[in-house]
Amino acid sequence: MSDEQSGQATCWQPEIERMDREALGQLQLERLEATLTRVYRTLPFYQQRFDAAGVDPDGVRSAEDLRRLPFTVKDDLRKNYPYGLFAVPLREVVRLHASSGTTGLATVVGYTRNDLRHWSSAVARVLVAGGVSKDDVVQVAFHYGLFTGGFGLHQGAELVGASVIPMSSGHTKQQLRIMQDYRTTALCCTPSYAMHLADELIEQGVPRGSLSLRVGLFGGEPWSDAMRRQLEEKLQLSATDNYGLSELMGPGVAGECQAKAGLHLAEDHFLAELVDPESGAPAAPGAVGELVLTTLTTERCACGRTLARMGRVLGRTDDLLIIKGVKAYPSQIEAVLVALEGADPHYQIVLTRKAAMDEATVLVEVSEAIFFDEMRRQSGLRETIARRLAEELGVHVAVKLVERKSLARGEGKAVRVVDRREG
Residues making contact with Zn ion (CB under 5 A):
257, 259, 301, 303, 305
SS3 304: coil
Least distance CB 255 / Zn ion (angstroms): 10
Q: Which is nearer to Zn ion, 301 or 343 (CB)?
A: 301
DSSP state of 54: T
Where would I find the beta strands (DSSP E) of 186-285? 186-189, 215-219, 238-245, 250-256, 263-265
Q: Which is nearer to Zn ion, 125 or 413 (CB)?
A: 125
As a whole number of angstroms, the distance between CA 157 and CA 150 comes to 11
Q: Which is nearer to Zn ion, 140 or 301 (CB)?
A: 301
- H/E element holding 346? strand 343-354
The Cα angle at residue 332 between residues 393 and 176, in degrees rounded to 5: 155
DSSP states of 368-392: HHHHTS-HHHHHHHHHHHHHHHHHH
Least distance CB 301 / Zn ion (angstroms): 3
Least distance CB 257 / Zn ion (angstroms): 3
As a whole number of angstroms, the distance between CA 212 and CA 201 comes to 13
Closest CA to 137 of 185, 194, 188, 187: 185
Q: Which is nearer to Zn ion, 303 or 393 (CB)?
A: 303
Q: Which is nearer to Zn ion, 57 or 304 (CB)?
A: 304
DSSP state of 275: B
Q: Which is nearer to Zn ion, 77 or 265 (CB)?
A: 265
Least distance CB 84 / Zn ion (angstroms): 38
- Which residues are bridge partners to 250 per DSSP? 245
Least distance CB 221 / Zn ion (angstroms): 22
As a whole number of angstroms, the distance between CA 423 and CA 135 comes to 54
Least distance CB 201 / Zn ion (angstroms): 30
Closest CA to 75 of 63, 84, 67: 84
